[in-house]
Amino acid sequence: MCYTNTFYLKNKKETDIIFEFERAVVLRFGRILPEGAIGPGLIETLKGVDVLKKKVDVREACYVIPAQRIETTDDQIVEVVGIVFMEIFDPVKSVLNVKDGNVEGFVYSHAGMLLRNAISSHSLQEILQNKQELQHVMKVYIYINE
């Protein structure tokens, strides 16, 4: 009977293709594999043992924060549009530290909040006079840490 179980596990493999710009995060019995993110190329996972948690795109992405009406400290309304550039450096952390692995949604909403907070803490005159300084301050790199 022992050889039957071994044969059963050997035939329960799945093969997935991971493209050059992707990395796969695989969990075995609920734990991350020792090698971390896998790819690119063909990967084999065991059915019932391994879970392909997510394929993570590691290319740089650009997201536009739609126009937002923000009230300044002197009660003026300013309409602001933002652009977020994002690149994932550690696929394992990006999947395991963000609920449902939705890193793009997290970065998008977090950047919108940072934009609103930065603009709303200045008066309209300060914003108009210090555009270059505000643009420099708004270049924020978001890292997902442990």
DSSP line for 46-99: ETTTEEEEEEEE-S-EEEEEEEEEEE-TTS-EEEEEEEEEE--S-HHHHHHSSG
- What integer pLDDT is reported at residue 140 of this predicted model? 57
Q: What global pTM score does this model have? A: 0.70
Rounded to whole angstroms, the Cα distance separating 92 from 60 reads 17
User: In the chain, which segments carry CATH 3.30.479.30?
Assistant: 61-138
Task: Render pLDDT for 16-40 as a digit per residue (tens, 0 to 9).
Answer: 999 999 999 999 998 998 888 998 9
* CATH 3.40.309.10 is held by the domain 61-138: no
Q: In the chain, what is the straight-line distance between the N-terminal and C-terminal CA atoms, in Å?
A: 45
Average pLDDT, the chain: 82
Task: Render pLDDT for 40-80 as a digit per residue (tens, 0 to 9).
Answer: 999 988 888 888 888 999 999 888 888 889 999 998 999 98
Is the per-residue pLDDT at 119 higher than 90? Answer: no
